[in-house]
């Protein structure tokens, strides 16, 4: 089983809370309220030992990620040991990547509109942080020779993961050095997929950072790009990001398109931007080759101000959950299911992995 998650976009409140988690006793599995004392913010950037702990934010969903044969995240920030920064130019401590590895992910897509927030040095440090934690990455490269897919082997099936973004927030790639960040271009995607097939890949995933923010339906351009990719027959699965809300699942010929997985972790306060999902994709051999056999998903919710990602159905099993939170989580569940089905994807094999009580 393959697992995919939505945007990891660590706004400064997320990073500051990670610093707090590193400095207070934490009981694994605890979902007790976190009180954020104002003095925590007064000196955090001036302290010499910058230590952060993001792992508590993922611990409620980490078992599900670890159970997957392959788990891939989408990291929408650069990584650096320099002082963290938030919107509009993201820079996050390396401890986030440590938590990604610790929580069960095997790799991440890195191509996003924030990939060049700190130039090629930011790209370089992010790739190095991923490699230092034994994580694969796709979408950014150190040079032309290393550009290409991230490769995995799952139950004897060779998988290639590609990653692209619609743009870079006005930043430009260095002249004649287009390899730093992959931009969406259907011809290039087709060529990259062909190169991955030549290297032995049997199933190809393309992560696309695309669309309009906060829009629950894909744009015309997203749908046109998906149709063009489907026409190439080069890619088996498209997984979308960037909108910060859940977008529909659709099928175009043999190509499955998940237009948007929403946010997995962020500080965005709006209900739709706190909805997310762990997408489960089962693949297997068929007479036509390796194909998607089923798709399911686990709706998730960012529990603020704790900044903990929770699986909605599991959280609803808590007998001590108060009525207000119970209503909020049921509303989140309904929004996620409706959003995924908004383009008619009520296929019998596309369904929530577990239903709430």
Q: Can you give the pLDDT at residue 28?
A: 59
Q: Can you give the pLDDT at residue 40?
A: 43
Domain 2-352 in CATH 3.50.50.60? The answer is no
Residue 307 clears pLDDT 70, i.e. is over it: yes
Q: How confident is the model at residue 29 (pLDDT cuts 50, 70, 90)?
A: low
More confident residue, 130 or 42: 130
Rounded Cα gap, residues 189 and 206, in angstroms: 8
Q: Which of 47-56, 105-114, 136-145, 308-317 has the lowest mean pLDDT?
A: 47-56
* DSSP characters over 23-59: TS---TT--------THHHHSTTT-S------HHHHT
Read off the pLDDT of residues 333-349 as tens digits, 9 standing for 90 and up. 999 999 999 997 666 66
- Mean pLDDT within 264-270: 97
Q: How confident is the model at residue 356 (pLDDT cuts 50, 70, 90)?
A: confident
Q: Can you give the pLDDT at residue 34?
A: 41
Q: Can you give the pLDDT at residue 26?
A: 60
Q: Can you give the pLDDT at residue 357?
A: 77
Helix (H, G, I), strand (E, B) or coil at 151: strand
Rounded Cα gap, residues 349 and 261, in angstroms: 18
- Mean pLDDT within 122-129: 98
Q: Which helix (H) or strand (E) holds 12?
A: helix 12-21
Q: Can you give the pLDDT at residue 350?
A: 84
Token readout for 47 is 């302290």
Residue 222 clears pLDDT 60, i.e. is over it: yes
Q: In whole numbers, what is the pLDDT of the chain averaged over residues?
A: 92
Residue 32 clears pLDDT 80, i.e. is over it: no
Residue 41 clears pLDDT 50, i.e. is over it: no
Read off the pLDDT of residues 155-199 as tens digits, 9 standing for 90 and up. 999 999 999 999 999 999 999 999 999 999 999 999 999 999 999
Indicate yes or no: pTM above 0.75.
Answer: yes
Look up residue 341 and give its DSSP letter: T
Residue 44 clears pLDDT 70, i.e. is over it: no
Please answer whether residues 90 and 117 qualify as being in contact, where contact means their C-beta atoms are separated by less than 8 angstroms.
yes
Distances (CA, A) of 4 to 77, 93, 108, 357: 17, 23, 9, 24
Helix (H, G, I), strand (E, B) or coil at 84: coil
Sign of CA dihedral 167, 171, 175, 176: negative
Distances (CA, A) of 105 to 51, 132, 135, 145: 21, 14, 8, 26
């Amino acid at each position: 089983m393959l697992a995919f998650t939505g945007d990891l976009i660590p706004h400064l409140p997320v990073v500051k809370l990670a610093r707090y988690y590193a400095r207070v006793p934490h009981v694994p599995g605890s979902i007790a309220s976190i009180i954020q004392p104002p003095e925590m913010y007064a000196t955090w950037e001036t302290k010499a030992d910058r230590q952060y702990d993001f792992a508590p934010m993922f611990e409620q969903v980490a078992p599900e990620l670890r159970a997957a044969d392959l788990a891939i995240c989408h990291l929408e920030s650069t990584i650096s040991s320099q002082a963290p920064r938030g919107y509009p130019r993201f820079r996050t401590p390396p401890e986030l990547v440590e938590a990604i590895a610790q929580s069960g992910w095997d790799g991440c897509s890195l191509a996003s509109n924030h990939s060049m927030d700190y130039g090629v040095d930011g790209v370089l440090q992010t790739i190095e942080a991923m490699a230092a934690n034994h994580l694969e990455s796709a979408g950014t490269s150190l040079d032309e020779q290393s550009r290409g897919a991230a490769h995995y082997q799952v139950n004897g099936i060779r998988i290639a993961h590609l990653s692209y973004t619609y743009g870079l927030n006005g930043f430009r790639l260095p002249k004649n050095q287009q390899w730093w960040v992959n931009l969406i271009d259907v011809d290039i995607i087709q060529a990259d997929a062909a190169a991955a097939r030549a290297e032995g890949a049997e199933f190809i995933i393309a992560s696309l950072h695309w669309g309009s923010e906060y829009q629950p339906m894909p744009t015309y351009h997203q749908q046109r790009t998906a149709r063009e990719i489907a026409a190439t027959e080069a890619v088996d699965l498209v997984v979308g990001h960037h909108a910060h809300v859940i977008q529909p699942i659709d099928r175009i010929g043999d190509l499955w398109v998940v237009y948007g997985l929403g946010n997995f972790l962020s500080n965005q306060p709006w209900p739709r931007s706190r909805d997310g999902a762990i997408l489960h994709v089962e693949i297997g051999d068929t007479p036509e080759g390796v194909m998607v056999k089923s798709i399911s998903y686990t709706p998730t919710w960012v529990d603020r101000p704790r900044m903990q990602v929770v699986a909605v159905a599991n959280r609803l099993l808590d007998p001590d959950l108060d009525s207000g939170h119970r209503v909020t989580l049921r509303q989140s569940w309904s929004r996620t299911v409706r959003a995924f089905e908004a383009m008619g994807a009520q296929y019998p094999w596309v369904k929530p992995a577990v239903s709430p009580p």
